[in-house]
A and B are shown apart, each in its own frame.
Chain A
């Protein structure tokens, strides 16, 4: 799922200096799971913002809302009435949710309250790690189900660099070397021959974000 972290409160307060009444909108999906922008975080951040503004004698009215999924138009539109009654919106959904709200409420300034960081998995409670870069052409079949694009700092396709040492990456010693993981996995599966094949250069320019923002159209689903 999408992972995010809340922005520093001072940064959010800076955005809100000109305003007296805002909507703080969370999201019930990914950012709820990673404890960055769910109903609980909306409530905590709203209180923090109110107190900070109270302290400097410029009270801020904060309306709270947490639609089920901010990135879906029907849920974003549930915010219509509340958006109409405020001067600005802080969205603590991911960058997708922020832009869905922006697309539907053209006349109200919308500010991000979190930094969207990566597509990742939960390791243990409170620890998340990046797993996918949405590169547009999945290579996991070749690499034992471990992604070198998301998990190798150099995005190597043909095995580890010289900096792989005792299973760890030289760049961040707490990070497992993706290619050590791939090697171990393919060895366990009896598929080490897959590491002998040269994986040709990826077509970044047509498959990935390098081709510009991507779009999926499913004629069978359109209404």
Chain B
């Protein structure tokens, strides 16, 4: 075991993993975390805690992750390179692991101009692949970046990263995943999948390179709430592809939200059958109450209780 997290145990036993996502409050109101935590407890194996996603200022991922541990859930602490240089990153990793955080997702982060502090100076001292390498060095070599300074204590982290099979250039996306695996990533969560054909094509390229044997791939899904949401995401979010037939299906449904849940469950069942997919990452954005229904309908409930 590299970190001994629940997520690592589930995946290393060859079980199909389920992760969820929780956006911390836009302030210090802990009741927001508690409400979402109650909806996800026992429903997923671990919960991603976002790090100022879309560059909107929220409670820090480390602090919110710590609250989740206190509430009996296992966090996947997300960390972006947008806001921290390598000094802050390594210092925060010391603090996070001391607090009991065992999973970390290494991200570059959404550009700050999408958020609510557009005048900020962005950092990008490292990129996400260099961040993976940094964390792996801290864990396996027990030194800081650069290899000189020994770390007091042990950094035990199950290292994750994201990949987007729907970004361009498409042919490079499997190579990029291979680079993340070479840098030392243990698991991958993908961008939300609607274009199943493209995802399957990407997975084939991943398997051809043998990358699916080097890291666990969790397929990302996001249930669509409404036709408006589907149209908005398809039109405005770069790196998300929603085929027209899916938009039509949601738009034309009598109860679009119900249809969105059904679609999500069908997607999970299809993803489960793909060689190399070891789990799903359910990003129910501000719709956490639906996650337990989705996992039950998809036959992913109850979650394994591992020692």
Contacts and interface: CB of A to CB of B under 8 A. Distances in A.
A164 B183 contact: no
Interface in B268-289: none
Interface residues of B, number: 37
Contact of A156 (B108, B162, B178): B108
Nearest to A171: B111
Contact of A200 (B108, B130, B239): B130
Contacts of A170: 111, 238-239
Nearest to B165: A162
Nearest to A170: B238
B132 to A, nearest CB: 9
B167 A201 contact: no
Contacts of B169: 160, 164, 179-180, 183-184
A201 B239 contact: no
A159 interface: yes
* Contact-size category for A: 20 to 34
A160 B167 contact: yes
A204 interface: yes
A157 B132 CA distance: 13
A172 B183 CA distance: 30
B175 interface: yes
Contacts of B238: 162-165, 170
Contacts of B64: none
A155 interface: yes
A155 B129 CA distance: 13
B167 A163 contact: yes
A75 to B, nearest CB: 34
Interface stretch (B23-31, B119-127, B222-230): B119-127
B133 A159 contact: no
B145 interface: yes
B168 interface: yes
Nearest to B168: A164
Contacts of A184: 169
A13 interface: no
Contacts of B179: 158-159, 196, 198
A157 B128 CA distance: 9
A49 B247 CA distance: 58
Given A153-B111, A154-B111, A159-B175, A164 B239 contact: yes
A167 B168 CA distance: 7
A190 B83 CA distance: 36
A169 to B, nearest CB: 8
A201 B130 contact: yes
Query: Which among A170, A177, A192 has the greatest number of chain B C-beta atoms within 10 A?
Result: A170
B145 A162 contact: no
Contact of B167 (A155, A165, A196, A200): A165
Interface string B144-181: 01000000000000000011101111011001101100
A13 B190 CA distance: 54
B175 A201 contact: no
B88 to A, nearest CB: 13
A195 interface: yes
A166 interface: yes
B127 A156 contact: yes
A166 B183 contact: no
Contact of B111 (A163, A164, A201): A163
B141 interface: no
A159 B172 contact: yes
Given A153-B111, A177-B168, A183-B172, A162 B191 contact: yes
A153 B168 CA distance: 16
B109 to A, nearest CB: 8
Contacts of B32: none
B86 interface: yes
20 contacts: A155-B124, A156-B108, A159-B175, A159-B176, A159-B179, A160-B167, A160-B169, A162-B164, A162-B191, A165-B167, A166-B168, A170-B239, A171-B113, A179-B169, A183-B169, A184-B169, A192-B175, A196-B179, A198-B182, A201-B125
Given A157-B127, A201-B125, A201-B133, 13 more contacts: A155-B124, A158-B129, A160-B172, A161-B167, A162-B166, A164-B239, A167-B168, A171-B113, A171-B114, A198-B130, A198-B133, A200-B130, A201-B145
